[in-house]
Every structure is written in C-alpha cells, then in structure tokens.
Chains A and B, each alone.
Chain A
Amino acid sequence: MTSDSSSKTPPLFDTSSFASRHIGTGADAQRAMLDAIGYDTTEKLVEAAVPSAIRARKLADSSLPPAATEREALAELRLFADQNTVNRSLIGLGYYDTITPAVIKRNVLENPSWYTAYTPYQPEISQGRLEALINFQTMVSDLTGLATANASMLDEGTAVVEGMLLARRASTSESNVFIVDADSLPQTRALLQNRAEAVGIELVELPLADVSAAEGGLPPAFGIFVQYPGSSGHIWDPSEVISAAKEAGGIAVVAADLLALTLIKSPGELGADVAVGTSQRFGVPMGFGGPHAGYMAVRKGLERQLPGRLVGVSKDADGHAAYRLTLQVREQHIRREKATSNICTAQVLLAVMAGMYAVYHGPDGLKRIAEQVTRRARYLAEAATDGGHTVVSGNYFDTITLETDRDADRLVRMAYQAGYLMHKVDEDHVQFSVDETTSDDDLAAIAKVLGAEREYPAREGIPAWIPERMLRTSDYLTHPVFNTHRSETSMMRYLKYLADKDYALDRGMIPLGSCTMKLNAATEMEAVSWPEFAGLHPFAPEADVVGYLDLIEQLQTWLAEVTGYDTVSLQPNAGSQGELAGLLAIRGYHLANGADARTVCLIPSSAHGTNAASAVLAGMRVVVVACDERGNVDLDDLHAKVAEHGDQLAALMITYPSTHGVYEHEVKQICQAVHDAGGQVYVDGANLNALLGFARFGEFGGDVSHLNLHKTFCIPHGGGGPGVGPVAAKTHLAPYLPGHPLAQRPTMLAELFDPSTSSGTARGPAHRNAVSAAPYGSPSILPITWAYIRMMGSAGLKEATGAAVLAANYVAVRLRDHFPVLYSGDNGLVAHECILDLRPLTAATGVTVDDVAKRLIDYGFHAPTMSFPVVGTLMVEPTESEDLGEIDRFIEAMIAIRAEADAVAAGDWPADDNPLRGAPHTARSVIQGEWEHAYPREQAVYPLPGVLRNKYWPPVRRIDNAFGDRNLVCACPPPEAFE
C-alpha cells in the first residue's frame, strides 16, 4: 500500500483517521481478500484493473489539504458557518422561513433509517417510506384539487419546465408557443428560457392578469403558465384565461403555493390541467436554496404523462394491500429517449418531511398557519400605507409589493439595518413576504422600517383582502392520517412504525450496483441543520453568505482537481440535471462556433437510460452505438457512426468505468475518434467511485462530466433524493455551464471565460444557462461532501477506491463458481461492481432474478441491482464501507440461495412451491393457518443460523406489479384496505 506524500501513515492503518472509520475493511481483512484474489496489494490490484494508458498523472501540488480528523473538520465547518449571517428573510420568491417540527427533524432528517435508504425499487422492504410518499402525494393532490400527484420534483423551477414539456406532449394544438405569465418567479422565467430554447419552444410572456381572454388576448399556444398567487403577491382569478387557453387546445399549468391553497381556490377548481410548485415551506429549511421537494399534480387522464416517480397501491401474494412504485415504464430507465422526462433521483427525504408536516399539523393546523400569515401580511400592508408607501395590489396572501417612488434601495437598506431582508424588484418597487415564523416583534420592527407610526388591531375572521369568490370552500386532508397524530408521542411512534418497516443502511448492506450505497458518516451530516447553513435564503445578499460561497468555491476546486477538469458548477440538483447541463454546454459551444448542425449524440447501448432522455432535452438526436459481446463499446460500430454523422456529431456520452462495471481498455482511443471528428466527449461520472485517485476523466479525453455527490461523495440517498449532480468541464465549455440571474457572486466560470471567444455575449444570455431554481442548487447538503473530502484527503480517497475495487473483485471471485460473472476487463478483473449472470440458472431451474432478489430479503439483505444493465442479471456493488464480515455474510447467502435453486432443479421442491418462489416470507405468512408448503417453515424464514440473531421481517409478501399498474390508486387508501 503506497501513500501520498501528504501523510506518512496510510490512513487505512491509522485508527485515529476518519478513513479507517469510513472504509470497512482493515489491513487484516484486506490481506485475506487479496489472498483470495491473488494480489499482493490493493494498489497492485487496481493497477492491474485500470488500463495503464489512463492512469492519473502525479500533480505537482494539490489543492486538497492532508486529511483532517472528524473534530478538526467540524471546527473548520464552524468557521465557515460563522462567516454567514442569518438575517430574517422576507424575500419570499418561492422560499420562506418555516418551523421544522423538532419531532420531524430528529426522527426523519437526522435519522439514518430515513436518510440512508435507497429509492424504493424493492417495494417489499420499503413500505414505510412508500406510505410516507403516498401521504405526500395525497397532500399535494388534495391541496391542488387534482387527481394524481407524483412523489416529488427537484424544485419549483424545474417542475414548471416539466409542466411545459408535459403540455407539449399532451396538447392537441399545433402551436409551438407556450404562454408565460409575466408575474412569475424570476428564477422560473430564467429556467423556462433556457430549457424552451433547447427544444425549440417559443415563449410568449404576457401580463395575464391584465389580458382580456374573451377578446382574443391570447395567441394560439400549446400551453399556458400562471403563477398563483403571482410573484408580486397579487391574487387574481385566472379561470377565464385558463378556459380560453384550453378551448384553443392548450394545457394549463399553474404554479401554486401550497400554504395559500388552504385558503384560496385550488388550481383544479380554477380549471388547471397541471399544478406545480414547491413544498419547502412545509417544514423544510431554506438551506440557501435547497434541497426541497418540488411537486406536480395532474388532472385525471394525464397520469401517464407525469414525469418522475409515482407511488401506487397494489396487493401482495397473500392479497394484502401494499405500496409500490407504479407506471414505471414512463420513466427514463425503460423508455430512454422517449421517456416523459430525464428525472430519476427526486427529493424523497424532503417530500417525506413535507408530508409529515401536514400529518403533524392536519388541515386545521395548516389553515391556522395560513390565516396567521395572511393577517400579518395585512398588518404590514396597513403599516406600509400608513408609512406613505403605495401597496400595488390590494389582493394578496403573504406577499406585498410596494411602490416606493425611486426609493427602493433606501427601503431595502433600512430593512437590512433592522435585520430584515426585503426584495428590490426595481428602482421603484420593493416586495416582502410574511411566513410562519414572522412574530409580533417582527411585525413591530418591520412596521417601523416602513415608517408606520401606530399599532393596528389584530385581525380575526375571513381575510377580506382575498376576494370572496377566490376563497376556498372545498375540503382537503380528510384522510385519517392527517387527523390522528396531533400529540408528539403519536407522531414519534408513527415515524418509528414506518421506519421499522424499511431496510436502510442502518440495518445492513445495500449492494446495489451503480448506486454506490456507501457510508453517510454522522460527522458529515452534522452541519446540515446548523442554522447558519439551514436558515439562509438563496437570494440573500452576498455579505450574509460569505462562508457558504467560500465553502462552495473550495469544494468546486477540489472536485475539479480530482476529476481533471478546469471548472465545476454545483447547481444541478441531481445526476440527470448534471447530464442536461453538460449537454447544454456542449450545445452552447457548438452554436457559438457556428456548428448549428452538430446535434447527434452517440450513446452506447449499455448506457443508463437517463443519458438518452437528457440528450433529447438538450435538443440532440440520439444515435445508439452497439456494444460487443464483452460489454465494451463496439469500436467498428463507433467508427462507422462517427463517419456517418461527421459534420453533425455533437457528442459521445460514455460512462467510465462502463455500466457493465468494467474499465474499458480502449476509452482513450474512443475519445480521440470523437474529437477528431469535431465532437465533444461527455463522460458520465456515475461510476467515479471506481476511479478516484487512480485516473481523471479530464486527462483521458473527457470535455465534460457530471458527478453524483450522492454516490461517490457520501450525500445520503434519502430514499430517492436529495441528490447533487455537479457538472465539471474543461475551460472551453466553461462559459456554457449553469449560471443564474440571481447568483451572489460571479462563479469560477466567469474568471475562465474569455469574452473574445464568443460573439458579443460576454456575460452570457439573461438566463445564464440556469438548470435549477437556486443559484447553487442544494447548498445545505454540500457540507457533507466537503467534510468527506476534507477528512479523507487525497490519500484517503485513493484508499477508498482501492477498497471498493477490492471488495467487488472479492465478491466476483468468491461467487464465480456459483454464478457466472458476466463481464470483466484487463486481467479478468472487474471495477467497483460485478454482474452475476442468472440467466443460465433461470434456464436450468426456472428460478428468476426476481426470485433471488426477493429471497435475499428472507436472508436479511437488500437485493443488488436487478436486470440493469443486462436483463436477467444482478449487479453487485459492495462499496468500500462494508466490512469483510458483512460481505462474507452476503456471499454466504448467495451461495445458500444457489443451493436452494439447485434443489428446485433436482426436483426436491416443486417449481411453483419452493422458498424462492414464496419469498419474501412475512411473520404472518408462516404463523397464520396450517403450514402447507413443500419446504419447512424454518427454511422459509431462518434459512441460515446467522439469521436467527438478527432477523429482518418484511412487512408484506411479494407484490403484484401488474395489479398495481392495471388498477391505478395513487392516494392514501382507506384504513380498511389494510385489515
């Protein structure tokens, strides 16, 4: 084991180091594993696996400091935090201060049972978070008055974009126009501009509140977008424009504030087809922009057009109600370039929190909060009038816009001096928003800033400043779950009850290939909820967020160094958005060079479906490149496709190491061929965990990549989000990476940007290539990745890669005699994951990949990735964080399962009555009634002695997928359904 010059003792062997806590296998365990594979050291193993041509060069000086201890890292994070100032935000614009109920903070946000879980693709062991998500869906569906809501979007801005794209798919209009309300959030308008341009949609911006729809004020359009209430706070009745747009064949998309919807008519009641927005103010801290759960709901008939994940109700093998992800064939992993969206990871943890906020407060509590907010807004409107300002609209919920007569700066400054942040709209106008946290003391202080000289009576009763015809009279949140858990005891137990149903990293290994379910260390999580990181508005002034900006810039520098690129943007909120941002950068580069015809994106057939879906959203045309029988890119086909599309070649998207878990030998030549033809190389960084410290994308040919901080860099999966998908690029693409109209500081992109290379757009377009609603995406979780890199140092990161590759090769060697390992690279080695081929077993015994995956539950494991990238296989990624005991336990389970399959083949058990086909077994299924199966009860639930000690009981048996897809139910079923 060699080490970096920066540390004398290799971190792995120094138990005071964080690396020795992060990496599960110590020196003795690694020795034993290496012996099994036949290598002397981990370093030699990785060097035999990684082609020498791409090996990282030694850097003269590194920006990464030597590893810090956990205590030191927290002290440094504290210094960053101390440079932030948490003033009281009245900025609004889609982000509001909120009170996270402490019972939710402690039992969800800070509870590994929730934050270390994976996306619920194995529904039998995910019933807890599936119920939490169906609560969220029911909440959104009820409040918006629309039939079906999905299980979250990435943020409000991207949800509006998805609404626009949905409208284009579903509309019968021939028009290419999407009408946008001028009173929409500024970040939403920037996102719409960027995304519409890429796919050839024409935006027409109109002040819809003033347009007379009856007199033909609307141009022909496939859709219309209304912000409700308006960005300025104005409440008006959009039902007439909605109806006019729909009569012309358009689809109406309304972005609505969920808290306001407890008081005012729902989008559904106004005729909207689609509602979108954010659930941030339902108990999720602002966090300088994220993460928060966006939402989308649609009317009946549009369910199949929904992007993202959707939870539905089905039944299990015993006929009991059970939850699962439904209508999955809409999604990018199946439909590829024809998917409804490229979104995959969403914001599950935050959606769970928002849904639980509604469970905790109930309909009455939410309404009480909303009434308090709007009465306090009224108080401040009166104070402003009294102070000599003009309130622009007399109809509002929480936001007041003032006309100040060229005095906007002065008012904003005075507010700041009093500790409050207001939003300057322009020289004449200022707006401010009231939220759940605005207190009586705040009202008095703000009234003083506004120049008011007296106090106003507290308001009660119906808020008369909301037009009576706009007041909501319909019910919402009537399901018992929203009306039961009022006491903290009940709430705490409900959260525990749900968490206990699920399998997360706090129970055992989750060996999901391509998902990198490594440790999310407690120290890394520590700073996330510090007020100096959690309590900041994304558009707070630069002076308030210096610590954040410094941390972000340092992290960008580190990520650029380890990937071999020049610049990094942390804005994309998920890998899918990082892909899109990278492809849009390639598109921008080609356009700036006059190469408008370069629109073809080559994607190997082995690629993740998201690649293809993202390419389409970047305005590109997907051409598939074949793979050979070893799982590598077919070089002949690649050269043929490059030749065929020469002048039209925009990019190649390639994953490295490949989705087959192999270090492709020819990657350098592949990149070169694309460059020679004038194309750009996009290296998908999903598998970076197999490369860090040994090779760099930017050195072997990549022009741009996205990384998944929620894979390689320890941000927890949260049960399906949050994610962070930074995009890293070479200098020539830097001008086209995501910027933001409201960013506090020009990013490192601007420094690299040479205006002379571009035709007169030195500051870039107005939208600045934005792909997220907030300038820095989801900053409040960036301290996790910062802490990981800070505590590992470059030597530790390299050790982690070695341990991950060692673990995967150990699994491959140990299981090779029982299940063929499908692909391998140089010297017969795999990278950080291996594919176990079950197809011969299925052919010989009838035992399917599903049977094995579900049987692993009975043995106490989460299944590996099923049927990706090859149907009928399991892809295993142990990661560096698992210790040898756990890895051996998994291997032992797989070998035992193989023996069970052999017993089926030998005729010991019937093909339709054996422990594999019957898996998973619930406690109820082995206790209730007579046991009439061909195999004993003990075999069903305690197949190995080790399981006796630590038994995980799945709450449901195998779930009927077809029943759930054929009988769509996506809201909380009545309690009787579970009797």
Chain B
Amino acid sequence: MTDLKYTAEHEWIRADGNELTVGITSYAADKLGEIVYAELPAVGSSVEAGKVVAEIESTKSVGEVFAPVSGTIIEVNDEVVDSPDFINDSPLEKGWLFRVEVADPVILDGDEFLTLDAYNSLIGE
C-alpha cells in the first residue's frame, strides 16, 4: 500500500486528484477491538482539517476520526454502517470511511502525512 499516506491519528489517505479516500489503519482497528458502530459525516457537509469528523465505536471504547484536510464530504461508506466489522476485517479496502473533495489537487507531502515506514516506526513496528 505504498500509494497510501498515514497520519499520526492512525488514519490512512488515498489521494486521487481532488478526491481523498480516508479510513483507519489496521493498527487502530486492532487497538479499538471489535468495532460495532461507525458514525460517519453527512454527504455534502464541509469538514475542517484536524476536527473530529467521524466516530468508531467498539464494545469497549470509542475512537475519533479527524479530518486530514479541509473540504467537502462527497461520499461515505454506507456498508460499514451496516457491517462495522469490515473496519476490523478489511480496514484498507472494504472498511474505508469517507471521501472528501478539496479545492485544489493535493500533494500529501506535508510533515503531517506519513509514509508507511514513518507510520510503522511511529507505532513501533
């Protein structure tokens, strides 16, 4: 998954022109435990970088998902609302959470966007 970037908040991001797909990492999903519910933003809502945009609940804790960039939500993964276990079983594929559109095509090269190696060293793996 070298085309992905990661955040210190345990999100992954896949960029495609103006559109970013966001989910949580497999490390985060494991830490949360069995995920039972995902509360996703409304399509069409605008989100601000660094603000809470979604919540993932497991049987014993709750994880907040932060918007990695500012923009507009263009699609959410309704399947994870019905089958939250997708986030555990397939966090990078079937367990994606939402897609956000930004004004200009983005290049995720800021310090806040980590490579897989950098993310792995952050989580100590």
Are the chains A and B members of one assembly? yes
Interface flag for A961 (CB, 8 Å): yes
Distance between Cα atoms of A334 and B59 in the complex (Å)? 10
Is A591 interfacial (CB-CB < 8 Å)?
A: no
Shortest C-beta distance, A229 to chain B (Å), equals 37
The reply to whether B85 and A334 contact each other, CB–CB distance below 8 Å, is no
Mark out the residues of chain A between 314 and 331 whose CB falls within 8 Å of any chain B CB in the assembled complex: 328-329
A307 to chain B: closest CB distance in Å?
Answer: 16
Contact (Cβ within 8 A) A965 B59:
yes
Q: Does B62 contact A (CB under 8 A)?
A: yes
> Within the assembled complex, what's the spacing in Å between the Cα atoms of A335 and B61?
8
The answer on a CB contact under 8 Å between A335 and B36 is no
A329 & B58 in contact (Cβ 8 Å cutoff): yes
- Of all chain A residues, the one with the shortest Cβ separation from B64 is A338
Q: Which of B15-60 contact A (CB under 8 A)?
A: 34-37, 39, 57-60
| Partner pick for A961 among B34, B37, B39, B62, CB 8 A cutoff | B34
Task: With both chains docked as a complex, state the minimum distance between the C-beta of A111 and any C-beta of chain B, in angstroms.
Answer: 32
Given the complex, which residues of B lie within 8 Å of A965, measured CB to CB? 36-37, 57, 59
Q: Is the CB of A334 within 8 A of B60?
A: yes
Closest A residue to B62 by CB, please name it: A329
A962 to B87, CA, bound (A): 13
- A966 x B36 contact (CB < 8 A): yes
CB nearest to A965 among chain B residues: B36
When each residue 23-64 of chain A gets 1 if its CB lies under 8 Å from chain B and 0 otherwise, what string results? Answer: 000000000000000000000000000000000000000000
Question: Contact between A962 and B62 (Cβ–Cβ < 8 Å)?
Answer: no
How many interface residues does B have (CB within 8 Å)?
A: 13
Report Cα–Cα, A962/B84, bound state, in Å.
Answer: 10
| Per-residue interface assignment for chain B, residues 73 to 94, with 1 indicating a CB less than 8 Å from any chain A CB and 0 otherwise | 0000000000011000000000
**B residues in contact with A335, CB < 8 Å:** 62
Contacts of A334 in B (CB 8 A): 60-62
B36 A328 Cβ-Cβ under 8 A = no
Shortest CB-to-CB span from B87 to chain A, Å, is 12
* Chain B neighbourhood of A304, CB < 8 A: 37, 39
Best-buried of A304, A334, A962 by chain B (most CB within 10 Å): A962
A340 shortest CB reach to chain B, Å:
12
- Closest residue of chain B to A866 (Cβ to Cβ) is B60
B101 to A: closest C-beta gap in Å = 24
Number of interface residues of A (CB under 8 A): 10
Residues on the B chain within 8 Å of A961, using CB: 34, 59-60
- Nearest A residue to B59 by beta-carbon distance? A961
Question: Which B residues are in CB contact (< 8 Å) with A329?
Answer: 57-62
Contact B60 A962 (CB under 8 A): no
State how many angstroms separate the Cβ of A871 from the closest Cβ of chain B.
9
Contact B60 A966, beta carbon cutoff 8 Å: no
Taking the closest CB of chain A, its distance from the CB of B81, in whole angstroms, is 11
Residues of B close to A867: CB separation below 8 A? 60
Kindly list chain A residues whose C-beta atoms are within 8 Å of the C-beta of B85.
Answer: 962, 966
Using an 8 Å CB-CB cutoff, how does the interface string of A87-114 with B read, 1 for contact, 0 for none?
0000000000000000000000000000
Q: How far is the CB of B111 from chain A (nearest CB, A)?
A: 26
**Residue pair A962, B34 in contact (C-beta under 8 Å):** yes
User: Min CB distance, B106 to chain A, in Å?
Assistant: 30
Cα of A817 to Cα of B34 in the assembled complex, Å: 33
- Cα–Cα, bound, A328→B36 (Å): 11
Across-interface contacts of B39 in A (CB, < 8 A): 304
Give the docked Cα–Cα distance between A867 and B59 (Å). Answer: 13
Separation of A335 and B58 alpha carbons in the complex (Å): 12
> Closest B-chain residue to A961, C-beta based?
B59
**B84: A residues at CB distance < 8 A:** 966
* Complex alpha-carbon distance, A304 and B81, angstroms: 14
Given A966-B84, A966-B85: A328 touches B60 (CB 8 Å cut-off): yes
Complex Cα spacing A867 to B84, Å: 24
A420–B61 alpha-carbon span in the complex (Å): 53
Query: Which residue among B36, B39, B62 has the maximum number of chain A CB atoms within 10 Å of its CB?
Result: B36
1/0 per residue A805-818: CB within 8 Å of B? 00000000000000
Q: Are A328 and B59 in contact (CB under 8 A)?
A: yes
Bound form: Cα–Cα A965–B36 in Å: 6
List the B side residues contacting A966 at CB < 8 Å.
Answer: 36-37, 84-85
- A304–B35 Cα distance when bound, in Å, is 15
Can you list, as one digit per residue, whether each of A568-589 has a CB less than 8 Å from chain B (1) or not (0)?
0000000000000000000000
Name A496-543 residues within 8 Å CB distance of B.
Answer: none
Bound CA–CA A334/B55 (angstroms)? 14
- A370 and B120 alpha carbons, distance in the complex (Å): 66
Instruction: Enumerate chain A residues within 8 angstroms of B37, measured Cβ to Cβ.
Output: 304, 965-966
Question: Taking the nearest CB of chain B, how far is it from the CB of A892, in angstroms?
Answer: 30
Inter-chain contacts of B36 with A (CB < 8 A): 962, 965-966
Give a binary string over A768-804; 1 marks a CB under 8 Å from any B CB, 0 the rest: 0000000000000000000000000000000000000
Q: For residue B35, which residues in chain A have a CB less than 8 angstroms away from its CB?
A: 962
| CA distance in complex: A186, B62 (Å) | 39
In the complex, the chain A residue whose C-beta lies closest to that of B58 is A329
Chain A residues, Cβ within 8 Å of B58: 329, 962
Smallest CB separation, B80 vs chain A (Å): 12
CB distance from A975 to the nearest CB of B (A): 27
Which residues of B lie under 8 Å from residue A328 when comparing CB positions? Answer: 59-60
- Interface positions of A from 952 to 971, Cβ below 8 Å from B: 961-962, 965-966
Chain A CB within 10 Å, residue with most, of B39, B57, B59, B85: B59
Q: Which residue of A lies closest to B39 (CB)?
A: A304
A380 to B44, CA, bound (A): 60
Kindly state the separation between the CA atoms of A962 and B36 in the bound complex, as whole angstroms.
6
A334 to B32, CA, bound (A): 12
A533 to B36, CA, bound (A): 46
A330-364 CB contact bits vs B (8 Å, 1 = yes)?
A: 00001100000000000000000000000000000
B55 to chain A, nearest CB (A): 9
Contact with A along B57-71 (1 / 0, CB 8 A): 111111000000000
**Binary flags per residue of A701-730, CB closer than 8 Å to B gives 1, else 0:** 000000000000000000000000000000
Taking the nearest CB of chain A, how far is it from the CB of B13, in angstroms? Answer: 25
Contacts of A962 in B (CB 8 A): 34-36, 58-59, 85
Least Cβ–Cβ distance between A314 and chain B, in angstroms: 10
Smallest CB separation, A853 vs chain B (Å): 13
Name the CB-closest residue of A to B37: A965
Cβ distance A868 to chain B, nearest Cβ, rounded Å? 11
Chain A residues within an 8 Å CB radius of B60: 328-329, 334, 867, 961
Inter-chain CA distance A961–B34, complex, in Å, is 9
Cα of A304 to Cα of B59 in the assembled complex, Å: 13
Residue in chain B with minimal CB distance to A967: B36
Complex Cα distance A304/B58, Å?
Answer: 13
Taken residue by residue from 276 to 313, chain A's Cβ proximity to chain B (1 for < 8 Å, 0 otherwise) reads as 00000000000000000000000000001000000000
Which partner residue on chain B sits nearest A966 by CB separation? B36
A310 to B93 CA separation, bound complex (whole angstroms): 33
**Complex formed: what's the CA distance from A888 to B61 in Å?**
34
Cβ–Cβ < 8 Å partners of B34 in chain A: 961-962
Q: What string of 1s and 0s marks CB contacts (under 8 Å) between A858-878 and chain B?
A: 000000000100000000000
Residues 102-123 (chain B) with a chain A CB within 8 angstroms: none
B22 to chain A minimum Cβ distance, whole angstroms, is 21
In the bound complex, residues from chain A placing their C-beta under 8 Å from that of B62 are 329, 334-335
With the chains together, A961 CA to B36 CA distance in Å?
A: 9
**A residues 936-979 with Cβ under 8 Å of B?**
961-962, 965-966
Once the chains are docked, how many angstroms separate the CA of A966 from the CA of B59?
9
For A329, A334, A867, A961, the residue with the greatest tally of chain B CB atoms inside 10 Å of its CB is A329
Q: Which residue on B lies nearest to A867, using beta carbons?
A: B60
In whole Å, how far is B31's beta carbon from the nearest beta carbon of chain A? 11
7 contacts between A and B (CB under 8 A): A304-B39, A329-B58, A329-B62, A334-B61, A335-B62, A962-B34, A962-B35
Interface residues of B, Cβ cutoff 8 Å to A: 34-37, 39, 57-62, 84-85
Contacts A304-B39, A329-B57 aside, 5 further interface pairs with beta carbons under 8 A come to: A304-B37, A961-B59, A962-B85, A965-B57, A966-B85
Binding site for B on A (CB under 8 A): 304, 328-329, 334-335, 867, 961-962, 965-966
Give 7 closest A-B pairs by Cβ, nearest first. A965-B36, A962-B34, A961-B59, A329-B62, A329-B57, A966-B36, A962-B59
